[in-house]
Amino acid sequence: MSFDNNTHRITAIDWLRGIVMMLMALDHASWFFNEQRIFADSVLLYEPGVHFAADQFFTRWITHICAPTFIFLAGASIAVSNFQRRRQGMSGAVIDRELLMRGAFIALLDIVLFSLVGGKPVLQVLYAIGISMMLMVYLQRLGTEAVFWLAILIIAGGESLLMLLWQPGGDVPLWLALTFAPDFGATYTVLYPALPWLGMMMLGWVFGQWLLTRPSGATAPHRLLLTCGWLALTLFVIVRGLDGYGNLFMHLEGNTLVHWLHVSKYPPSLAYTLLELGLMAIVLSLLMRLESFNKTINRNNPVLIFGQTALFFYLAHFVILRIMEIFFERGSLEQTYVITLLTLVILYPVCRAYRTLKWRYPQSLLRFL
């Protein structure tokens, strides 16, 4: 595991972030151009008994890892960034202010920019990330152990509270939509209520703290991740197999792989969180092993560049997909994959140039992207 000399980042984390950004581009290209796209990841969206085409289902399913991974890694990056800034002599008050400002900026992108484009307030993943980052300013003061157990309580016990307050299809007050329950109303849409995703960011922060403070002789990070990943997947099998608590009304309707993997993302069920964070931990473990074998890191690798410019990538890829609508109509899944590849090819030099500019002016407003 190594730190990039220019950005003080862990390379394996940026690789993983780059991978999920590419998968996210596939999901959004499917949203724009795939006539048969599946969007049934919630009891609010799914009609029991519907049969899914395997290619369409797995195209959607492989992108499920994106949001949990990005939010978990954002938590880890907060811990690493704060450590680096303290080492550079920055005061705690300035570090907290920077994190508050960045979180507010990210949340406002959803609340203002994407809502204007959508014609109504639409709160998606940037809202959840931004609000969670702002809350982390205060939560991290509780200490690593307290944050860990609070994260476990939110992830494992949040469904208990939600089921007391919410019934699918019923009215959702604004405060509940912003915190726990999604709402697909006519006046506003909340896809990512903040608190379930906050738990994932808290876990990421705990992992980042452990990376920085683990004593010599402690378990290697890749081994810890591998162990935690398999544990999470084992718990997923148990929770999904019992088909009760932890599934958020998305019950098993058969014993096929599609039935087992069709879990609730909106809001994230315990089964969904265990599955996606488990897979993420295993992939990150493998990337850390790969990093340890690489004597030199190719700084211009597309995956690394996308991972180091993730928020800029997120904004820019929507612009490119909108432009693509001039040349392509909605059509087949094969066309969706081609458009995704074209989008990534176009984004590579743009993101590379942006990264160069951002590194050249590290204290400019570009640091928020």
Q: How far is CA 292 from CA 6, 12, 72, in A?
A: 19, 9, 22
* Main-chain phi, psi angles of 362, to 5 degrees: -65, -20
Tell me, yes or no, whether 4 lies in a domain.
no
Tell me, yes or no, whether 5 lies in a domain.
no
pLDDT at 85 over 70: yes
Tens digit of each residue's pLDDT (9 = 90 or more) over 206-216: 999 999 888 77
Q: Is the Cβ–Cβ distance between 201 and 132 less than 8 Å?
A: yes
pLDDT for residue 110: 87
pLDDT at 86 over 50: yes
Print the domain residue range for 50.
11-368
pLDDT for residue 215: 79
Two structure tokens written together for 304: 């690394």
Tens digit of each residue's pLDDT (9 = 90 or more) over 45-84: 888 888 899 999 999 999 999 999 999 999 999 999 999 8
Tell me, yes or no, whether 3 lies in a domain.
no
Tens digit of each residue's pLDDT (9 = 90 or more) over 235-248: 999 999 999 999 99
* Main-chain phi, psi angles of 155, to 5 degrees: -70, -45
| Spatial CA neighbour of 44 closest among 190, 196, 158 | 190
Total number of domains constituting the chain: 1
When pLDDT is cut at 50, 70 and 90, the band that residue 118 belongs to is low
Beta-strand ranges (E) seen in 91-172 are 122-123
Tell me, yes or no, whether 1 lies in a domain.
no
17-35 average pLDDT score = 97
For the ranges 32-36, 291-295, 330-334, 360-364, the lowest mean pLDDT is seen at 360-364
The identity of residue 271, as a single letter, is: A
251-256 average pLDDT score = 92
**Rounded-to-integer distance, Cα 113 and Cα 131, Å:** 16
pLDDT for residue 3: 44
138-145 average pLDDT score = 95
pLDDT for residue 186: 78
When pLDDT is cut at 50, 70 and 90, the band that residue 120 belongs to is confident
pLDDT for residue 171: 84
Q: What is the mean pLDDT of the chain?
A: 91
**Rounded-to-integer distance, Cα 183 and Cα 181, Å:** 7
Tell me, yes or no, whether 65 lies in a domain.
yes
257-273 average pLDDT score = 96
| 189-190 and 122-123 strand pairing | parallel
SS3 content of the chain, % helix, strand, coil (to 5): 70, 5, 30
> pTM above 0.85?
yes
Tell me, yes or no, whether 23 lies in a domain.
yes
When pLDDT is cut at 50, 70 and 90, the band that residue 369 belongs to is low
**Rounded-to-integer distance, Cα 246 and Cα 284, Å:** 25
Tens digit of each residue's pLDDT (9 = 90 or more) over 316-326: 999 999 999 99
Q: Rounded to an integer, what is the distance from CA 181 to the centroid of its chain? A: 18
119-129 average pLDDT score = 89
Tell me, yes or no, whether 158 lies in a domain.
yes
When pLDDT is cut at 50, 70 and 90, the band that residue 298 belongs to is confident
Tell me, yes or no, whether 351 lies in a domain.
yes
